[in-house]
């Protein structure tokens, strides 16, 4: 179970090193029981990964805030790219980055590292039949997706669905409010929920402002204030959980 976090501005957190290849991270929230974690990660320019094929027993999810990263020596994830990698996907034989990037990486549990000595392919591939209903989202260019209008006329907002579990309805999405938006964006509190403000800000009914580069995690049952306005508009990366 994770405890409530935030609103937490990432500028207030210290960097810590992640692995042995120059990555740094700021932990945004962590489940102490399972090891599941949401982290803000910096990949340096000219980064070169370990260069060995491997897989993890938990899912991995990434959103590139700015910059690039290379997965198989060829395909670049760029600003706005989204990756959802289910458990047991073989990857990593030629990872790197040119300009480097800032990104958010979520892991579904404590990360293990299982080496594959003789990979079957240079591309990412499932070790066995994939059972994760979200599927394998390798590089969704979210900047090329159209926004979908949601809500009624007084509360119109915009949405891009990045991935969803059709069984539990847990999802990852981008949400956008236009400049001057004024309405009521209430969110249920039955399940845990995370937000990361990518751009702009919104104001909540309790008067607090949720600014750019701020993270918030609300566990199930948390009474949280509805969003009521956004002076300059905003874009938020959000995760709806199916449980804690």
User: What does the binding site for Fe ion look like in residue numbers (CB under 5 A)?
Assistant: 92
Q: How far is the CB of 199 from Fe ion (least distance, A)?
A: 28
Locate 65 and state its tokens: 């805030």
Q: How far is the CB of 82 from Fe ion (least distance, A)?
A: 16
CB-nearer residue toward Fe ion: 65 or 89 = 89
CB-nearer residue toward Fe ion: 8 or 116 = 116
- Sign of torsion over alpha carbons 13, 17, 19, 23: positive
Q: How far is the CB of 220 from Fe ion (least distance, A)?
A: 29
Q: How far is the CB of 51 from Fe ion (least distance, A)?
A: 12
CB-nearer residue toward Fe ion: 92 or 108 = 92
Please confirm whether the linkage preceding 7 is cis (ω < 30° from 0). Answer: yes
Length of the chain as a residue count:
244
CB-nearer residue toward Fe ion: 21 or 224 = 21
Locate 106 and state its tokens: 């979520």
C-alpha closest to that of 133 among 157, 107, 165: 165
Angle in degrees, CA 180, 6, 162, rounded to 5: 65
Taking CB atoms, the residue at the shortest distance from Fe ion is 92
CB-nearer residue toward Fe ion: 52 or 225 = 52
Strand 193-200 to 214-218 pairing: antiparallel
- Sign of torsion over alpha carbons 47, 106, 212, 140: positive
Q: How far is the CB of 147 from Fe ion (least distance, A)?
A: 31
Q: How far is the CB of 83 from Fe ion (least distance, A)?
A: 11
CB-nearer residue toward Fe ion: 48 or 156 = 48
C-alpha closest to that of 13 among 32, 34, 41: 41
Q: In 105-218, where does DSSP find H-type helix?
A: none
C-alpha closest to that of 227 among 199, 197, 207, 200: 207
Say if CB 39 and CB 99 are below 8 A apart.
no
């Amino acid at each position: 179970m994770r405890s409530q976090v935030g609103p937490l501005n990432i500028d207030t957190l210290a960097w810590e090193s992640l692995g042995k290849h120059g990555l740094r991270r700021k932990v945004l929230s962590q489940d102490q029981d399972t090891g599941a974690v949401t982290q803000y990660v910096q990949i340096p320019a000219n980064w070169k990964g370990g260069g060995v094929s491997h897989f993890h027993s938990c899912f991995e999810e990434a959103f590139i805030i700015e910059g690039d990263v290379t997965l198989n020596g060829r395909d670049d994830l760029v600003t706005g790219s989204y990756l959802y990698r289910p458990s047991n996907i073989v990857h990593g034989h030629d990872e790197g980055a040119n300009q480097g990037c800032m990104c958010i990486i979520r892991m579904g549990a404590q990360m293990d590292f299982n080496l594959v000595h003789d990979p079957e392919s240079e591309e990412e591939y499932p070790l066995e039949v994939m059972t994760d209903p979200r599927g394998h989202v390798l590089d969704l260019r979210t900047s090329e997706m159209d926004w979908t209008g949601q809500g009624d006329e007084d509360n119109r907002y915009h949405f891009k669905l990045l991935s969803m579990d059709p069984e539990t309805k847990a999802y990852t999405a981008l949400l956008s409010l236009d400049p001057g938006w004024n309405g009521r964006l209430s969110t249920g509190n039955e399940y845990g929920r995370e937000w990361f403000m990518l751009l702009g800000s919104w104001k909540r009914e309790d008067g607090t402002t949720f600014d750019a580069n701020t993270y918030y995690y609300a566990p199930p049952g948390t009474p949280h204030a509805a969003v009521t306005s956004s002076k300059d508009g905003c874009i938020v990366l959000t995760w709806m959980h199916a449980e804690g």
